[in-house]
C-alpha cells in the first residue's frame, strides 16, 4: 500500500451555473494547485444535472485531512452539498499495470 491517498468527492449544487460561477471555479482550481500535498485533482460533472465531483491524489493522509477540513467549510459556505466523501488507499502494483498517474 502507498502512503499516498485518493479522495473521491461527489457534490450537488442547487444554484445556477453562471459565467460568474465558472470564473470562481477557475480561481479555485488555481488555488488548489498551490495547496501542500495535492498532487493532482480531476474535476467531473454529470452533464444535464447539478452533480459535480472531484478525485484528488494527495501525497499523504495528513495533507489530505488538513485540506479536507478547510475545503468542506468552503463548500458549505458557497451552498454546495456533499453527497459522498471517501478516502482510499492506493493499490500501487495493480494501478501501475493500468498506467495510473500516481507518481507525483
3-state secondary structure of 29: helix
User: Would you list the DSSP string of 62-90?
Assistant: HHHHHHHHHHHHHHHHTTEEEEEEEEEE-
Q: Is the pLDDT of residue 94 over 60?
A: yes
Cβ neighbours of 38 (radius 10 Å)? 18
In the chain, what percentage of residues exceed pLDDT 90? 63
Q: What is the CATH number of domain 5-97?
A: 3.30.70.100
In the prediction, which pLDDT does 16 show? 74
pTM: 0.88
Cell triple for 7: 479522495
User: Measuring CA to CA, which residue among 55, 52, 53, 30 is closest to residue 40?
Assistant: 55
Domain residue ranges of the chain, discontinuous segments joined by +: 5-97
Nearby residues of 98 by Cβ (< 8 Å), 6 or more positions away? none
Amino acid at each position: 500500500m502507498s502512503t499516498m491517498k485518493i479522495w473521491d468527492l461527489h457534490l450537488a449544487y442547487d444554484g445556477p451555473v453562471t459565467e460568474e460561477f465558472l470564473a470562481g471555479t477557475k480561481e479555485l482550481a488555481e488555488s488548489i494547485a498551490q495547496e501542500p500535498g495535492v498532487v493532482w485533482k480531476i474535476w467531473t460533472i454529470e452533464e444535464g444535472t447539478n452533480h459535480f465531483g472531484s478525485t484528488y491524489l494527495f501525497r499523504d493522509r495528513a495533507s489530505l485531512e488538513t485540506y479536507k477540513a478547510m475545503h468542506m467549510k468552503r463548500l458549505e459556505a458557497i451552498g454546495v452539498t456533499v453527497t459522498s466523501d471517501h478516502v482510499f488507499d492506493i493499490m500501487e502494483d495493480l494501478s501501475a499495470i493500468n498506467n495510473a498517474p500516481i507518481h507525483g
